[in-house]
Amino acid sequence: MSRRPFIPKVVTANRLIEGDVVYLAADDRWVVSLKEAEIYEDEAVAEARLLDASRQTETVVGVYLADVTPGPDGPEPVHFREAFRASGPTNYAHGKAHEVL
């Protein structure tokens, strides 16, 4: 039985206070734009970054790895759930969702 090839990933979470969807950037900042997220193409590196990010319980909650594909302007979501999360809140026009309007 062969293993599936590793799909590139980003670390994502929700900011603890505001609840905003955030992504881990290469300089260890949490950013709101998926385009600024660091892409991990190595499974061991992705798991190590996930572990580090998971320890930031005073800043973020719900930390996990999300599948992405490298795009011309940065990471792009592979699954609908991540595309939906990247678009921002939908309960009223503000934040990232408002910028798209």
List of residues 6+ apart from 7 with CB closer than 8 A: 67, 68, 78
Quick check: pTM over 0.75? Answer: yes
Q: What is the pLDDT of residue 99?
A: 55
SS3 (DSSP) at 23 = strand
In a structure prediction context, what are the per-residue pLDDT tens digits for the chain, which is 101 residues long? 668 889 999 999 999 998 999 999 999 999 999 999 999 999 999 999 999 999 999 999 999 999 999 999 999 988 888 888 888 765 555 555 555 44
CA-CA distance, 98 to 87, in Å (whole number)?
9
For residue 95, tell me if it sits in a domain. yes
For residue 83, tell me if it sits in a domain. yes
For residue 2, tell me if it sits in a domain. no
CA-CA distance, 79 to 8, in Å (whole number)?
12
Structural domain containing residue 58 = 9-100
**Amino acid, single-letter form, for residue 42:** D
For residue 1, tell me if it sits in a domain. no
> How distant, in Å, are the alpha carbons of 14, 16, 23, 74, 87 from that of 91?
16, 19, 21, 27, 12
Total number of domains constituting the chain: 1
CA-based torsion, 64, 65, 70, 76: positive or negative:
negative
For residue 3, tell me if it sits in a domain. no
For residue 4, tell me if it sits in a domain. no
Strand-pair partners of 70: 75
- DSSP code of 22? E
